[in-house]
Amino acid sequence: MVSPILKWAGGKRQLLDELKSRFPRSYSHFHEPCFGGGALFFDLEPQNGSINDTNSRLVNFYKQVRDRPDELIEFSRTFEHPESQPDPKRSFSETNRKGKDIDNYYYQQRELFNNRPYGDEYDELEEAALLLYLNRTCYNGLYRENSSGGFNVPIGRYSDPDWVREKEIRQASRVLQNTDIYNSDFEYVRDQVEKGDLVYFDPPYEPMSPTAYFTDYSADGFDQEDQQRLVDLAKELDQRGVNVILSNSGVMYDKYDEAGLYVEIEGATRAINSDADNRDEVDEIIATNVPPKQRKAVGQQGLSDF
């Protein structure tokens, strides 16, 4: 089992056993169209398949991990403590793009990381190293973008942050070697899957209340129309003989149920109302088209693991 490199909001490390308990007894290729931190993927260590994310900088990061792990590790070693003084040899050592003072090294690196969305030249390797550095030193390991695509999470407070992650990068690079990496809409998987494959969808969750936002992950967001497209794609893949597993917030219970999926509640921390109209009180659900009698026991291997 490989540990994820990045901290990521909505990560599935706490749900790994529950997700794997819905797996079919065997499957061919593994696909994860809404990758994020990739906790399930790295736990499985699949031998082939595909991953995808709409966040272009996250996708670049995983490509650098796969193809240039040594260079990425060495670049990461060049960074300073986030509360250090800005590097006077680099841009934004005094002010940011809006003319506001740069107080420390972290905010200088954050401004450099935003070169791509603001139209400045950027280096793919440096961008990947900066994403890892910011992820390990920002507030709560959050990833959030403003409407222009700029990463805007403030500095965190850590006594001894590890932004090199050498062991995790080397292990992840090995696992990713035979994996195709895409930066596209989740519907890319329609053209990649074959009958007998396994697809796990972990989209940005549908908010459970007007004040709960799970879609600030990228400037483009993920709205109700996208949620419906995902349901429609799951139904299509089911008809093609593809194994599908989805996770989401409880407000999607009825939509997944109406799509003919097996839907179960996981990780609820509030009272669960038996009234279907109030199922939005449920924290998390897992849905699948794999019938209970065709599921494997946790610990068995898929075909892709041999």
CB atoms within 10 A of CB 4: 20
How confident is the model at residue 299, as a pLDDT? 53
Please name the amino acid found at residue 170.
R
Q: Options 3.40.930.10, 3.40.50.150, 3.40.50.300, 3.20.10.10; which CATH number does 13-55+183-305 get?
A: 3.40.50.150
State the pLDDT at residue 94.
98
> How many CA atoms, within 13 angstroms, populate the side-chain half-sphere of residue 297?
1
- What's the CA gap between 198 and 44, in Å, rounded? 12
What is the pTM for the complete model shown? 0.88
Kindly tell me if the per-residue pLDDT of 217 is higher than 50: no
pLDDT tens for 58-80 read 999 999 999 999 999 999 999 99
Per-residue pLDDT tens for 106-117? 999 999 999 999
Cα–Cα distance measured from residue 280 to residue 278, given in angstroms and rounded to the nearest whole number:
5
Q: How confident is the model at residue 215 (pLDDT cuts 50, 70, 90)?
A: very low
CA–CA separation, 161 vs 139, rounded Å? 12
Phi (first) and psi of residue 248, to 5 degrees: -170, 180
Q: Nearest 5 degrees, angle CA 22-CA 209-CA 231?
A: 40
Domain map (residue ranges) of the chain: 13-55+183-305, 62-165
Structure confidence by residue, pLDDT tens digits, 137-184? 999 999 999 999 999 999 999 989 999 999 999 999 999 999 999 999
Nearest to 132 by CA among 57, 183, 199: 57
Average pLDDT of every residue of the chain: 90
Please give the average per-residue pLDDT across 275-281, as a whole number. Answer: 47
Q: What is the CATH number of domain 62-165?
A: 1.10.1020.10
